[in-house]
Amino acid sequence: MSTEPITVAPSAATGSDPALLEVEGLNVSYGHVRAVRGVSFSVAEHSGMGIIGANGAGKTSTLKALLRLIPAQVERVEFDGRSLVGRKPHRIVELGIGYVPEGRHVFPGLSVRKNLLLGAYRHRWDDAVQGRLDRIHDLFPVLKQFDKRLAGALSGGQQQMLAIGRALMSDPRLLVLDEPSMGLAPVIVDEIVEALGELRRVGMSILLVEQNAKVTFALTDYCQVLSNGRQVKHGSSAELRQDPEIRRIYLGI
Predicted pLDDT of residue 120: 87
- Residue 138, C-beta contacts closer than 8 angstroms, at least 6 positions apart: none
Band of the pLDDT at 5, cuts 50, 70, 90?
very low
Rounded to an integer, the average pLDDT of 140-153 is: 96
Rounded to an integer, the average pLDDT of 207-221 is: 94
19-250 folds as Rossmann fold (3.40.50)
Domains of the chain, by residue range, sit at 19-250
Rounded CA gap, 155 and 147, in Å?
14
Predicted pLDDT of residue 127: 79
pLDDT digit string, tens, across residues 171-188: 999 999 999 999 999 999
More confident residue, 180 or 10: 180
pLDDT at 123 over 70: no
